[in-house]
Amino acid sequence: SSDLEYLPYFPFKGIPRFYDIGGFLYEPKVFQKIVDVFVDRYREIGVDVIAGLDARGFVLGPPIALALNKPFIMMRKKGKMPNSVSSDDYTTEYGNRQGLTVQKDKIQKNHRVLIIDDLVATGGTLGSAVSLVKMLGGVVVECACVV
């Protein structure tokens, strides 16, 4: 559908598909439906905190966290957040990346963490996020993505 468009070779040749979530973000009814689907699922499963991945997870995570009345935390690229811990470096479809970071006090031992991002490509970023949650003693409930 036009609500989720893919663009070949963006941002550079060698990337066969880039999925643009801008289409559904522009359509409030579609965006709300996506949020509602996630909220219904995670209200039943139960989570303590929602972690959004830099940067599109910052768009999807907060409305879900608000609807569930749970805290939202950002998992950012290295060097973007004070008082943080970092996961190991990882690889994505764009190449090697430095680890993700999160503030030290945001994930507590046995916290049930839902990780949110827009899509799964190679799984490198999500894998980095999972290792960061585990490093801090949290438990990953699921990794949720639209694509």
Residue-averaged pLDDT of the chain: 89
CB–CB of 107/118 below 8 Å? no
pLDDT band, residue 21 (cuts 50/70/90): confident
Q: How far, CA to CA in Å, does 67 sit from each of 30, 43, 106?
A: 16, 9, 19
2, pLDDT greater than 60: no
pLDDT band, residue 47 (cuts 50/70/90): very high
Structure tokens belonging to residue 45:
């499963």
Q: What is the pLDDT of residues 87-130, one digit of tens each?
A: 988 777 667 888 899 999 999 999 999 999 998 877 888 999 99
User: What is the model's pTM?
Assistant: 0.86
